[in-house]
């Protein structure tokens, strides 16, 4: 389909993280290397951590009405509800190809390029680029794909990191990716409001009996008080998992919608518990060690449900 087509639309899931956006930019750069006409469509605002990738392939936030595409490729998307706003119908976009690595997913996409053994969607794109003959990669593809892989492996720390992951990381560095640039932009370089938000979130910490479940909360009032935004909440759930003995960490935060406040759920595990089961029970999905969902119920109600699901998954306490 890549070889036969000429006009491609590349997108990623709503409110993109580094794997989604990095994979989209990387794939767009690969297609350009093949001489294709590529439109990178990302209508959402980008977090500060992703700003260093914006110049590699310029994006558009609106599609011209006359646009037509041979196919549309959406990165890192496991559910229809995560497709970006404004994605055109089939008569405009052509067949919808989903490139993903999540184990829990719905039937989104006309075609699926899904590798659940991959550490990140960025790895799937790198393997596709190799098959397409775009190897070594141009720096415009290597840098965003390195960001995607580094982010989803937690800096090559998470269990999804395999020997092939490290070998691929080395090849991306050889192609021009800068490891310190990625580390600083993705994991450091915080603004003052985000640091203050972290302090507020840690004050909400609740640990279950025997210390296996950690719960954290974020309200709209907390964000307003320190001048933070929702992008700054990303990754905060990991602080719950840092506690020795914690097997499951959950962060719940109030999320504004047109009709009121939903509750978003971010889940992390040390690997002993498959938290994608919690996410699916709450209407979401994800991986064994990282998953999430969004519920229309208030934060208090969702916290009770998440606590119940998590403790049922963990089983009787050993203490």
CATH of the domain at 251: 3.10.310.30
pLDDT tops 80 at residue 317: no
Q: State yes or no: pLDDT of 55 exceeds 80.
A: yes
Q: Is the pLDDT of residue 318 over 80?
A: no
Residue 37: pLDDT band by 50, 70, 90 thresholds?
very high
Please give the residue range of the domain that contains residue 118: 7-187
Residue 50 located in a structural domain: yes
pLDDT tier at 319, thresholds 50, 70, 90: low
Question: Which CATH number goes with the domain that contains 76?
Answer: 3.90.1640.10
Judge if 24 and 141 occupy the same domain.
yes
Model pLDDT for residues 285-294, shown as the tens digit of each residue: 888 888 999 9
For residue 319, is it within any domain?
Answer: no
Which tokens is 290 given? 């990282």
Give residue 144's pLDDT: 98
| pLDDT tens-digit readout, 296-311 | 999 999 999 999 999 9
| Domain-ending residue, one of 187, 221, 244 | 187
Residue 1 belongs to a domain: no
Do 164 and 20 belong to one domain?
A: yes
Threshold 0.75, pTM exceeds: yes
Both 37 and 153 in one domain: the answer is yes
Percent of the chain with pLDDT over 70: 99
Number of folded domains that form the chain: 2
Same structural domain for residues 119 and 93? yes
State whether 179 and 201 are in the same domain: no
Are 161 and 254 found together in one domain? no
pLDDT exceeds 90 at position 1: no
Asked if the model's pLDDT at residue 80 lies above 90, the reply is: no
Residue 93 lies in a domain: yes
Residue 276 domain-assigned?
yes
Of 134, 154, 187, which marks where a domain is finished? 187
Residue 84 pLDDT > 70: yes
pLDDT at 226: 98
Interval 183-210 mean pLDDT: 96
The tens digit of pLDDT for each residue in 88-127 reads 999 999 999 999 998 777 888 899 999 999 999 999 999 9
Q: What is the pLDDT of residues 255-284, one digit of tens each?
A: 999 889 999 999 999 988 999 999 999 988
Q: Is the same domain home to 121 and 200?
A: no
Residues 165, 60: one domain? yes
What is residue 316's predicted lDDT score, i.e. its pLDDT? 85
Domain-embedded: residue 278: yes
Q: Considering only residues 318 and 128, tell me which one the structure prediction assigns the higher pLDDT.
A: 128
């Amino acid at each position: 389909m890549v070889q036969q087509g000429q006009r491609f639309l590349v997108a990623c899931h709503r409110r993109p993280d580094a794997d989604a956006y990095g994979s989209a930019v990387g794939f767009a750069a690969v297609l350009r290397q093949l001489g294709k006409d590529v439109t990178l469509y990302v209508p959402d605002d980008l977090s500060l951590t992703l700003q260093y990738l914006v110049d590699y392939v310029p994006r558009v936030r609106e599609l011209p009405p006359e646009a037509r595409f041979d196919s549309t490729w959406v990165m890192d998307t496991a559910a229809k509800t995560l497709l970006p706003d404004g994605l055109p119908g089939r008569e405009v976009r052509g067949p919808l190809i989903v490139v993903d690595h999540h184990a829990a997913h719905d039937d989104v996409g006309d075609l699926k390029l899904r590798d659940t053994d991959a550490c990140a969607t960025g790895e799937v794109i790198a393997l596709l680029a190799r098959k397409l003959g775009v190897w070594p990669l141009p720096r415009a593809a290597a840098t965003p794909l390195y960001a995607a892989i580094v982010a989803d492996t937690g800096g090559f720390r998470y269990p999804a990191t395999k020997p092939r992951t490290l070998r691929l990381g080395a090849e991306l560095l050889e192609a021009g990716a800068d490891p310190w640039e990625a580390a600083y932009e993705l994991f450091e370089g915080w603004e003052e409001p985000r640091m203050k938000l972290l302090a507020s979130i840690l004050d909400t910490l609740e640990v279950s009996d025997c210390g296996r479940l950690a719960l954290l909360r974020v309200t709209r009032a907390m964000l307003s008080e320190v001048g933070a935004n929702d992008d700054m909440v990303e990754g905060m759930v990991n602080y719950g998992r840092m506690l020795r003995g914690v097997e499951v960490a959950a962060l719940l935060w109030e999320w504004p919608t047109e009709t009121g406040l939903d509750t978003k759920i971010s889940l992390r595990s040390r690997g002993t518990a498959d938290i994608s089961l919690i996410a699916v029970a709450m209407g979401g999905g994800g991986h064994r060690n990282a998953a999430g969902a969004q519920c229309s119920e208030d934060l208090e109600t969702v916290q009770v449900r998440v606590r119940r699901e998590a403790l049922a998954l963990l089983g009787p306490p050993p203490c």
